[in-house]
Structure 1
Amino acid sequence: MANITFLNITIPRDILNETLQVINKTREGPVVISNAPLLPEWLQNTLILIYLALLLLSLLLISHYIYYARHAVRESHADPPQASGGFLSIIVPVKNEDVDTVTAAVKRLAALPCPDAEVVIVSDDPPEKFEKLKEAVDALGLTNVRILRRPNPVGYKGVALNWAAERARGDVLLFLDVDSVPPLDMCARARAVGDREILFLGWDGYAAVNTPIASLQLFLYKYLLYHLAILGRFNAGHPLLALGSGIAVRKKFFEEIGGFCNCTADDYDISLRAYVHGGQVRYTPGPPVYVEVPAGYNAFKRQYARWTYNSAYVFAKYASALFSLKMPKSHKLSLFLNVATHPLMVATTFAIMAAGLAMGYAGILLPPIYVLMAQAALFALALAQVYYVYKIAKRDGYSFWTVVKRMAQSASLLLILSPYLTFYVLLGLFKRRIRWYVTPKGLSALAKGALGLYEALMAALLSMLVAIGVYLGNWVLASNSAFVLVVLAYVLLKIAK
C-alpha cells in the first residue's frame, strides 16, 4: 500500500481516495447511511433547503459582526463634549433594593463633579419599605437628593421613569440604574446632549461575585457589546441604540416623543422613537457606565430571556418603520440588523440544532456539496470573527486560545439555551406584555443551582434520541444527539456551576 506524506502526517492512499469519492457523491445529492429510514424525496430536499437557508442567514449575521469588529479595532476619536449648560436631573429607579444598595448609589453620585444637578430616586416599594429608604437617604445630608414614591406603582419601569421625569426640575434628564457605576465625566457628557437626540454613554460590565458565568459575561460585555456593538458602529458612522442605564435626553424632546413605553423594552423603544420622530441616538466616546452582570446561571438565563423578548418586541413593533426613516440605505440596514440580530441569532441557532437532529434521523451523513460549501464558509467566518475579537482583546493581555475558549463557551451557552430563548422570541413577536422579574444580583443570584426543569428535560430528550439512534443502528442520529448532550454537560459543569 502506497502512502502520501505531507508535513509528517501519513495518510493511507485508500482512505484518501475513499474520502474524496464520498465527497464527490455530494455533487449528486446527500450521502445517506445504508439503514436510514426511507423519507419522501420532497421531504428530504425540503429539510436540506431549510438547513441551507439557516446557514446563509448565519453567514449574514456573522458577516455584519465582522464588519463592526474591523471598525472596533481602530481607536475611537471624537471632540470632547461641549456642555451646553442647563440644570441636570439624574433619575434612579428602585424596587426591592436593600438600603445599602440605594445609599451606595447616592454616595457614588455625590462624589462626581456635577454642579447644578439633582438626584431623583423614584421608588415603587411599599410604604413601609419606602420610609426606611427615605430615612437612610435623608441621613446622608445631601440637599440635592430627593427620594419619591409613586402612590400607584403600576406598569413597567418606563412608567416610573416618566412619572419621575414629570417631577424633575432639570432641563436635561439622565437615567441611571441603581447598581450602575458612573464615569467621573458623566455629568459633563450628559449636558452635551443635543436638542433632538438621545445621548448614550456606553456600557461595560463589572461582577460583584466572581463566578465562571460572570467571568464569561465580562468578556462578552467588553468585546462583543462595548467594542463591537457600540464602538464598532460608532467608528463606522452607523446608527446605534441606547441601553437602559446611562442615557441622557433634553426634557423637551423626551416629552415630544412620549417618554418611555409601558413595556420591558423601554431603552430600545425610546431609541427607536427618537429615530421615528426625526432625532437620533448619539454615543460619546469616553469611560462607559459599568453595570453589574448576573453572577448565577439562572439569573443570567432570566436576564437573557428578557433581553431576547425585548429585541423581538421592538422588531415586531418597528421593523416596517425602520425602512421609512430619512437616512442612507446602509444606515437603515444597520439599524434593522441591530434590532433583528438578537432574535434571529437565537432562533437560527435553535433551528440549526433541530435541523441537524432531524437530518441525523434521516441518516444524512453528508449534505449536498452546496450545503458543505456554506458550512465551510460559516466556519471560516467564525474564525475571522474570533481573529478580530482577539485583535481587540490582546490589548488587555488575552491570548488567542483564551479568546477561542471564551467564544466557544459563548456559542455553547447559546446553543443550549436556544430552545428556551426561542420561546421568548415568539412571545416578543406576538405578545405585548409579559411578567417582568427583576434580575437578582450579587450573592442572591447564586440562590439556585444550574440544573432546573428546562435543563433536566433537555438532558432527558437528548438521552432518548441517543438511545433511539443506538437501537435503530443509526449512528448519525446517535452521534448528533450525543454531541449536543456533551455540550449541555459542559455548560452545566464548567460554565453554569
Structure 2
Amino acid sequence: MSVNEPISIEVRELTKQLIQQYIMNQYPWGLITRPLTPISQAVLLITYIITIAMLILSLLQIIVLTKYGIKSLGYLREMKSAVDQRNKVLTSRLPFVTILIPIKGESTLTIERSLQNIARLSYPKDLLEVIYISDDPEYYVNSIINILNNLSHRLGINVKVIHRTDNSGYKGGALNYGLRYAKGDVIAIFDVDTITPSNYLLSAVNKLMMGYDAVTAVWRGYYTVDNAFSRLMKFMYDVYNEVFIRGRFLSNGFPAISGNNIVIWRKVLNAVNGFCRCTGEDLDLSIKLRAMGYRVGLIDEYVACEVPSTYPSLKRQFSRWLFNGIWNMKHNLRLLLTSGKVTTWEKIDGILWMLQFPSISFAALSMLITLVLSIIGVLIPPAPILFLELLNAIIVLSLFVVLLILGKHVGYSIPNSVIQMTRGALLTIVMSFPMLVYSLESLVTDEWEWKSTPKGPINPRSTSLRDLVHELSLIPIIIIITIVILILNNQIITIPYIISIIAILAYGLRFVIAYAR
C-alpha cells in the first residue's frame, strides 16, 4: 500500500459523505466556500425564491409546449385525410364581409401587394369591401388613394382609404375608427403584409356559419429580403407556430387570436365593445371573447406574414409582444380568472400565453443569478434547485426532438433544423437581456412607443449599433463582475463557467451584429 492510498480512501469517503448529505438537503444554502453574513443570507433567500419560481414556470411552459408539439405533429401526419374531410362551404347565403387593414409608414408596393392578394380570394366580389385605415400624413394618404383607386378598378374590388387625423389608441384605435365605415356583417382584420390562400375567407365564414363566433388561422413566415437572419425567422415562425397556435387549439388551451388574421361576426365584436385602444388588441379581444363565453376556432388554412430581416426589427416586434402580454396581465387577468365560462386549463394556459415573451428574459436572469451566487461564494445551489435545473434540461431535450420532427413535416431537413434551432437559442440568449429590461419597464408603465415592423424589400428605417446598447454592454459588464469575483473570493472554479457564458454571448452577438442593418 502506497503512502497516498489512505489519503485517497479518506477523500473518497468524505466525498461520498458530502454527496449523501447534499442529496438529503443538509446544505440548505448549497455548497458555499465561505461563511455567510446576514446580508448574504438575505440576498441568497431572495435569489433562491426567484430561481425556484423561474424554474417552476419554465418547467411548466416546456412541458405544455412539448404536449402541444405532439398534438400538432399528429395533425400534420393526418393532414391529407383531414383536408379531404373538410366541410363543404355553404355559398348560398354568404354574408357581406368588410376587411380592415390598418397602415402606417408602409410602402405603396406593400399596400398594392396586399390588395392583389385579397383580389385572389375566392369570395364573391359583390359581398366584399376593403378598408385601409391610414395614420400617415395627408399627402401620403392621397398618393395611396390614387394608386389604389386605379388598382381596385382593374381588380374589381370595392376599396376605401380613410385618413385618421387623431392617431391615438394604437392599432385598436385605428380598427375602431375603420368600423365606423364598415358595412359588413362579418369583419376580417388583416395586417398589410398578410398573405392568405384563395380559400381562406370562404373557410373562415363557413366556420362562423357552423356556430363559431370568431376564427383565426396558423400563420407562417415569408421574407422579401433573403439573408441568414430572415431564413432563421421563417423557420421559427413555420415550426414554432405549429406548437404555439395549432397545438394550443387542438389541446383545448387558451384560444389566442392572431392579430394578423381575424374573422369575426360584427355583432360579437360590438358585444365586447370593439377593440381596446392598446397595442395588444388581439390578446385583449381573445380574453374578452372567452370570458363572455364566445367560441373561438381555428380554420384548416395557413396564412403567411413577412418576417423581420434584421435583428433590431425583430427586437422591436418582440418587445411590443412582450409589452402586450404584460399589459393584458395587468388589465385582464382578473377578468380571465373570474369568468365562469373559461375552463380551468384555459385560465392556466392564458397566463402562460401572456408570459411567453417575458419568459425570454429567463436566460438573462439565470446568468445574473449565477454571477450573484459566485460573488457570495456558492459553488453548487441547494439540491431542490439543482433538481429543477436538471428536470428542465431533460424536458427541453424532449421538446427539441419534437421540434426536429415538426420541422421535417413542415419541410426542413434535420441538419437544417438543428442549425436553425441552435441559432435561435443563441438569439434568444442575446435578446434575453433587453427583454429583461423591457419586462421591468412594462410592469411600471402602460405607455409604449409603438413602432411597426418594417416590411417590404426596401427598409426606410436605418439602424445602427445604438440599437444594440443592451447587448453590446453585456460582455464588458460580465468581465468586470468576473474580476470582482476573483478579487473577493479567489473562486477559480466558477471562472470556466463565466468564460463559457462570455463565449456564448460573443458568438450570438457576432450573428446579431451581422444583421443589425
Q: TM-score, normalised by structure 2?
A: 0.85
Q: Deviations over 1:145-183 (max 9, x none)?
A: 222222433331211111112211211111111111111
2:143 aligned residue (132, 140, 145): 132
**SS of residue matched to 1:201:** strand
Change (3 A) 1:170 1:411: same
1:341 aligned residue (348, 356, 365): 356
Residue 49 of structure 1: how far off its partner (Å) = 4.4
Distance 1:151 1:213 in 2: 36
Match status 1:96 vs 2:111: no
Bigger mean CA deviation after superposition, 347-356 or 215-224? 347-356
**SS of residue matched to 2:481:** helix
Q: Which residue number in structure 1 is paired with residue 375 of structure 2? A: 361
Q: Is the 8 A contact 1:207 1:214 kept in 2?
A: yes
Q: Which residue number in structure 1 is paired with residue 492 of structure 2? A: 475
Q: Is the 8 A contact 1:90 1:174 kept in 2?
A: yes
Bigger mean CA deviation after superposition, 329-338 or 439-448? 439-448
Match status 1:230 vs 2:237: no
Change (3 A) 1:402 1:469: farther
Match status 1:484 vs 2:501: yes
Distance 1:167 1:16 in 2: 80
Bigger mean CA deviation after superposition, 232-241 or 301-310? 232-241
**SS of residue matched to 2:74:** coil
Q: Which residue number in structure 2 is paired with residue 218 of structure 1? A: 234
Match status 1:26 vs 2:33: no
Change (3 A) 1:449 1:433: closer
Distance 2:49 2:270 in 1: 49
**SS of residue matched to 2:105:** coil
Change (3 A) 1:130 1:53: closer
Structure 2 residues without counterparts, runs of 5 or longer: 2-7
Residue 265 of structure 1: how far off its partner (Å) = 0.5
**SS of residue matched to 1:74:** helix
Q: Which residue number in structure 2 is paired with residue 247 of structure 1? A: 262
Change (3 A) 1:189 1:24: same
Q: Which residue number in structure 1 is paired with residue 87 of structure 2? A: 80
Residue 201 of structure 1: how far off its partner (Å) = 2.2
Q: Is the 8 A contact 1:240 1:282 kept in 2?
A: yes
Q: Which residue number in structure 2 is paired with residue 8 of structure 1? A: none
Change (3 A) 1:390 1:13: farther
Q: CA RMSD in A?
A: 2.9
Distance 1:322 1:207 in 2: 36
Q: Which residue number in structure 2 is paired with residue 309 of structure 1? A: 323
**SS of residue matched to 1:202:** strand
- After superposition, where does 1:453-464 map in structure 2 within 5 Å? 453-464=469-480
Match status 1:197 vs 2:213: yes
Match status 1:293 vs 2:327: no
Q: Which residue number in structure 2 is paired with residue 268 of structure 1? A: 283
**SS of residue matched to 2:122:** coil
Residue 458 of structure 1: how far off its partner (Å) = 1.9
Distance 1:175 1:347 in 2: 31
Q: Deviations over 1:375-394 (max 9, x none)?
A: 21111001011011112112
- After superposition, where does 1:37-52 map in structure 2 within 5 Å? 40-41=40-41, 43-52=43-52
Bigger mean CA deviation after superposition, 485-494 or 40-49? 40-49
Distance 2:45 2:172 in 1: 48
Change (3 A) 1:366 1:249: same
Q: Is the 8 A contact 1:296 1:445 kept in 2?
A: no
- Report the AA paired with residue 313 of structure 2: A
**SS of residue matched to 2:221:** strand
Change (3 A) 1:320 1:312: same
Q: Is the 8 A contact 1:357 1:477 kept in 2?
A: no
Distance 1:487 1:137 in 2: 49
- Report the AA paired with residue 178 of structure 1: V
- After superposition, where does 1:167-182 map in structure 2 within 5 Å? 167-182=181-196
**SS of residue matched to 1:121:** strand
Change (3 A) 1:36 1:489: farther
**SS of residue matched to 1:320:** helix
Change (3 A) 1:125 1:46: closer
Residue 305 of structure 1: how far off its partner (Å) = 0.6
Distance 1:242 1:417 in 2: 25
Q: Deviations over 1:25-75 (max 9, x none)?
A: 533326646478867445445534442332222111111111211211111
Match status 1:417 vs 2:428: no
Match status 1:106 vs 2:106: no
Distance 1:249 1:191 in 2: 9
Q: Is the 8 A contact 1:153 1:160 kept in 2?
A: yes
Q: Which residue number in structure 2 is paired with residue 122 of structure 1? A: 133
Q: Deviations over 1:107-145 (max 9, x none)?
A: 221122221211112212111111111111112224512
Q: Deviations over 1:287-326 (max 9, x none)?
A: x211111100111111111110001111111112212221
Residue 398 of structure 1: how far off its partner (Å) = 3.9
Q: TM-score, normalised by structure 1?
A: 0.89
- Report the AA paired with residue 136 of structure 2: D
Distance 1:485 1:448 in 2: 25
Distance 2:57 2:167 in 1: 43
Q: Which residue number in structure 2 is paired with residue 4 of structure 1? A: none
Bigger mean CA deviation after superposition, 453-462 or 401-410? 401-410
Distance 1:45 1:251 in 2: 52
Distance 1:219 1:166 in 2: 38
Distance 1:430 1:81 in 2: 50
Count of residues paired in the alignment: 485
Q: Is the 8 A contact 1:296 1:496 kept in 2?
A: no
Bigger mean CA deviation after superposition, 477-486 or 114-123? 477-486
Q: Which residue number in structure 2 is paired with residue 166 of structure 1? A: 180
Q: Is the 8 A contact 2:374 2:494 kept in 1?
A: yes
Distance 2:324 2:130 in 1: 28
Distance 1:491 1:176 in 2: 34
- Report the AA paired with residue 485 of structure 1: I
Bigger mean CA deviation after superposition, 400-409 or 160-169? 400-409
Distance 1:128 1:268 in 2: 33
Structure 1 residues without counterparts, runs of 5 or longer: 2-11
Distance 2:58 2:10 in 1: 36
**SS of residue matched to 1:72:** helix
